[in-house]
Amino acid sequence: LERALPPTDVNLQTARTNLALILKSDGDVAAARGLEERALAALRSMFPEDHPEIEAAKSGLAVTLSRQGEFDAARTMFEQLLASREATLPARHHDVEIVRGELALLFALDGDLDTAAALEKQVLESLESTLPDSHGDVITARLNLAETLREQRDFAGAAAVAERALAVLDGVEWE
């Protein structure tokens, strides 16, 4: 594919990031990172920094960096993405909250559970106000918050949040 397409072809960069996802799933995070860095560099030569293609590439690379334990670099990328989305999208927009949720997971991985929980509560509140309870992202946000609360040893809070998620999954209504 690299021989068939010019280096600035967006489809080539998509192929690189897709292959990086496969490599990450297979545990080859270092190879995935190389592909993601190449794709991001090429995309930066084609689009402005706030272009959706660049933001998607940065998000994937930030996840890779976090998997390699490079939390500061990953946090910087996620914070840049969050600032960009907050500046260009309406308040409580789904895409803003997805990035905020990724940032929360990063804080949790890095051991800052208080910041993670605060961000996860914000994500959940926002998603609950804009999406149905049965939406997968709302359920995921609840389960992420429940896990962080569990790690903080707030077992009652974790159970309450997890039970609500499970009630939706089971199709049970609650008061």
What are 91-116's pLDDT values in tens digits?
Answer: 889 999 999 999 999 999 999 999 99
> Residues 6 or more apart from 65 whose CB is under 8 A from it?
33, 71, 73, 74, 77
Higher pLDDT among residues 46 and 7, named by residue = 46
What are 60-81's pLDDT values in tens digits?
Answer: 999 999 999 999 999 999 999 9
For 16, 26, 142, the CA distances from 38, given in Å and listed in that order, are 8, 20, 35
pLDDT category of residue 175 using cuts at 50, 70 and 90:
low
